[in-house]
Structure 1
Amino acid sequence: MDKLKQNMLLKNWTKTSTIKLVTFLSACLIIVMISLSINEKSLQDSEQNIKYYKAKVLEVMQDTTVVDHKTEGVRKGSETLRIVVTTGKYKGKEVTIENYLSALFNVYAKSGTKIIVRATMYKDGPNFSIYNYDRTPILYGVILLFIIFLCAIGGKKGFMSLLGLGLTLIAVVKVLLPLLIQGFPAITTSVILIAIIIIVCFILLDGINVKTTSAAIGTIAGVMISGLFAYFVGVLGHISGFQTEEAETLLLIAGNHGMKVKNLLVCGILISALGAVMDISISIASSIHEIHEMNKKLTVLELFHSGMNIGKDAMGTMTNTIILAFTGSSLNLLLMIYSYGIPYSQLINTDTIAIEIIKSIAGSIGIVLTVPIVAYVSSYIEKRFMK
């Protein structure tokens, strides 16, 4: 009997692993095919006469910078640097450049500092200037640390969630952005891509079963609710993508490629709400599944009430998370507004503040309404298919 059970478990594990592998490869294939069908270079308005290279400071020939105590110790002034380009066609080339420091542009270099230089191309050759620090090693190190922690603590599921995250980021960069620039309907394109991402991520996480099915249905519903809410509130409040800080630049791009700017705000809210809604969906679906496994005599209504009780606990922290995330991202703006003493009637009607409020509330409403949706769908599916 034990051997039969072991064979069944092995068979199920093999089947689940096969499904995950097929799903991952299929998603990769679709992304590659779409990417190959899109001419990304024609969509990117790059400055052909400007290139960027890595470089290293060999010597600080002159340093006239001083510490400005009015700007919290930021150095201001200029440096004369001798640098060597370490990548690209000018690799090994040594040049002397002036580095001007201010409160806003402050790349203070020392001997051995790794930097990024901007090369502006002229007929008589390139003119080099400092662009920024070379943060590549630090950023790659942080990413690697995250991957190690996720896989070490999360194990197999951590690795699968990492694959799902990677596919999501690649899909956004290689599929969503090019399609939006080409003028595809912003909301429709985002909804379809998000639905596919949700299904793929849940399959990679735990295969195809009642938990992932319930969570996927709830997540799609919750994200759609967030998007619909943001859209209708935006229409009523006369808020759209045209009020964002990047609107002017996006309009120039839209004139060249046919991109639709109006609904980009809703697309951003859909993507922002995705992670939190996925989190609460799988938590409730997993909890109801475990409760049903422990007591299969419970009715759909009883399972639903259990799911709601669990969801209510998670709901408060999740809504706090998403609202505080948007608040934190706007901290500098809030400080600036507060320091100017802007009256409340003006503040609440400012485009930027209105957009942040809509983002926060839309995401939170998506989370709140996801709880009963997942609780009911999961309870019904558990009783219907897991008797």
Structure 2
Amino acid sequence: MTGAHLHQEATPASPRVRAFVLSVLIPLIMLTIAGLVVLWPSGEAPSIEAGDRVDAEIIDLRPCAAAGGASSQSGDTDSGGAEGSGGTEGGGAGDEEGGGTGDGGGGGQPGTTCLEADVLIESGPDEGLEVVVPVPYGVGAPQFEIGDKVVLTATRDVPLESRYEITEFQRGTPLLWLGIIFAVAVVLLSRWKGLAALVGLGISVLIIVFFLLPALLAGQNPLPVAVVGASAIMIATLYMSHGVSIRTSVALIGTLISLTLTGLLGALFTELSQFTGLFDESLAYIGLVDAELDVRGLLLAGLVVGALGVLDDTTVTQTATVWELAAADPTSSRRKLFASGMRVGREHVAATVNTLVLAYVGASLPLLMLFSVTGMGMTDALTSEQVAQEVVRGLVGSLGIIAAVPVTTGLAALAVRQGDTHRVAGRRRRRGGPSGADRPATAETGPGSGT
């Protein structure tokens, strides 16, 4: 155990508590393993024929060639004026841009300027070759400069000169550095406990990548897949991060109960709200690729998995709070521990619910802005499927948190005091014993004093 577990086993659990915990955990672990075996994906998952992604570096930028420029701009200029005038304007702008990029691409790049780039391919079968690719342009198009690291999409079985196009910037390096900073910060603050938490995070990612996603793509029922995956993540991460103990087991049981309630509420309101999933572009596209997928079930599965992270935070905090309160005041009763833990839990709920709702609102912010621009009323915006899905996720997740606080606090108070109830009562009797014995002694000596 680490220093963070200083008071964790200060009060040994009674045989009754251990029996209860094991009676819940053993079936849970066995059912989870059985679910992983039964639902483990087999066979070939459906796939989409997509272009290969390769890394490249822009080594030069210039205006589109005469033929390429005319062909690429004709579609834009047909509706706005003569093709010749459109080409002249594009050429003039391109010349000006060419002057800007000749010095290293430092000049401005108007969104309507047609450019092409010489890129050096850094991965894939054509690694080391230089090719010319069109640069995305138009309103809102990203601005590229010489030296930018980009990602190209390759269309197979197409001549080299028209095989590649720029898709986006490379982001691997900044994300890697951010991940390293995060890992170092966690370990510096929590030391070995933080390292264990990072290992638990890695296990969660492995479960999602190798079980959850393939099983969903294989057409398995999304709700059982989500429940089994969430249970595996919950068991692995809680014990890895917080150690194998009665306290962690109580937190796990509280999480299980709260997650079950969250899943039931999610299933109910997903059905009552009649979500179709067709307004989510990714879900709609996946549904077209594989008609066997239960799109509504995918929404529910996402709700269950998303709620797990917030729920285990709440349950671990509540069990830790009750254990520390019990260690600080060994004479406190279960009722007092529950009341004190609930006071902490109310503060936690107030902060966490707000965080959860704001997270879902933040994810829908561009959509809310679109509704605002179009003049859609607040009621209409909230009841539209895109926003209503986030509302259901936020409120159902919040109800799960609200349920987790009293459930976990009550379980923790019972567990931490079950083993030492008799000792606490005995301590109180010993404390009251001398005073009770003193009173008869005083009564006996009083008459004998003769005063």
TM-score (norm 2): 0.71
Counterpart for residue 333 of structure 1 = 367
Structure 2 CA distance for aligned equivalents of residues 366 and 233 of structure 1: 14
Q: Distance in 1 between matches of 2:140 and 2:48?
A: 24
Mapped partners of 1:56, 1:221: distance in 2? 52
2:396 to 362, 370, 373: 362
Range with bigger deviation, 156-165 or 341-350: 341-350
Q: Deviations over 1:76-113 (max 9, x none)?
A: 3222221111112111111122213123432x322221
1:86 pairs, out of 122, 141, 153, with 122
Other structure's SS at 2:290 match: helix
* Equivalence map 1:93-112=2 (5 Å): 93-106=129-142, 108-112=143-147
Cα offset, 1:177, TM superposition:
0.8
Gaps of 5+ in 2: 1-8, 10-28, 65-93, 101-108, 422-451
**Partner secondary structure for residue 59 of structure 1:** strand
Residue 182 (str. 1) matches residue 218 (str. 2): yes
Q: Which of 308, 316, 320 is the equivalent residue of 2:350?
A: 316
- Shift in CA distance, 93/360, structure 1 to aligned 2, threshold 3 Å: same
Q: Which residue of 293, 308, 331 corresponds with 1:274?
A: 308
Letter in 1 for 2:56: A
Describe how 1:78-157 pairs up with structure 2 within 5 A: 78-106=114-142, 108-122=143-157, 124-125=159-160, 127-157=163-193
1:346 Cα shift?
2.6
- Show the counterpart of 1:45: 47
Aligned to 2:322: 288
Q: Which stretch shows the higher mean deviation, 233-242 or 142-151?
A: 233-242
Counterpart in the other structure of 1:251: 287
Match of 1:218 in 2: 254
Q: Does the 8 Å CA contact 1:147/1:162 hold for their aligned counterparts?
A: yes
Aligned-residue offset at 1:60 = 2.1
Whether the 8 Å CA contact 1:242–1:262 is kept in 2: the answer is: no
Letter in 2 for 1:162: L
Distance in 2, matches of 1:194 and 1:375, equals 22
SS in 1 for 2:326: helix
Equivalent position amino acid for 2:182 in 1: F
Decide which moves more: 160-169 or 338-347. Answer: 338-347
**Partner SS for 1:88:** coil
Asked if 1:232 corresponds to 2:268, the answer is yes
* Partner residue, 1:56: 57
1:194 paired residue among 230, 241, 266: 230
Q: Indicate if the aligned counterparts of 2:55 and 2:150 stay in contact, CA closer than 8 A.
A: yes
The one-letter amino acid of 2:275's match is I
Greater displacement, 237-246 / 185-194: 237-246
The alpha carbon displacement at 1:44 in A equals 4.4
1:18 corresponds to? none
3-state DSSP class of the match of 1:77? coil
Structure 1: which amino acid aligns with 2:205? Answer: L
1:306 aligns with 2:307: no
Alpha carbons 2:277, 2:283 under 8 Å: kept = yes
Task: Flag the structure with higher strand content.
Answer: 1
2:159 & 2:137 partners in 1: Cα distance?
27
Whole-Å separation in 2 of the counterparts to 1:319 and 1:358: 13
Query: Do residues 349 (structure 1) and 350 (structure 2) align?
Result: no
Change (3 A) 1:210 1:129: same
Give the direction of change, closer, same or farther, for the CA distance of 1:314–1:137 in structure 2 (3 Å limit).
same
Corresponding letter in the other structure for 1:60: L
Counterparts of 2:266 and 2:173, CA distance in 1: 39
Cα distance change of structure 1 residues 39 and 118 upon mapping to structure 2, 3 Å threshold: farther
Separation of aligned partners in 2, 1:263 and 1:39: 20
Query: Is 1:371 matched with 2:405?
Result: yes
Structure 1 residue identity aligned to 2:325: I
Number of residue-to-residue matches in the alignment: 347
Larger Rg: 2
SS of residue matched to 2:294: coil
Question: Could you list the runs of 5+ residues in structure 1 that have no partner in the other structure?
Answer: 1-8, 10-25, 68-72
Identity of aligned residues (%): 22
Q: CA deviation at 1:243?
A: 5.0
2:46–2:290 Cα contact (<8 Å) kept: no
Q: How big is the shift at 1:312?
A: 0.6
Q: Hey, what's the Cα distance between the residues in 1 that align with 2:240 and 2:197?
A: 7
CA deviation after TM superposition for structure 1 residue 345, in Å: 4.3
The residue that corresponds to 2:106 in the other structure is none
Q: 1:254 to 1:80 in 2, by over 3 A?
A: closer
C-alpha spacing 1:248/1:241, structure 2 compared with 1 (3 Å): closer
Q: Give RMSD over aligned pairs.
A: 2.6
Alpha carbons of 1:307 and 1:179: their partners in 2 closer, same or farther (altered >3 Å)? same
* Aligned residues of 1:79 and 1:99 also touching (Cα < 8 A): yes
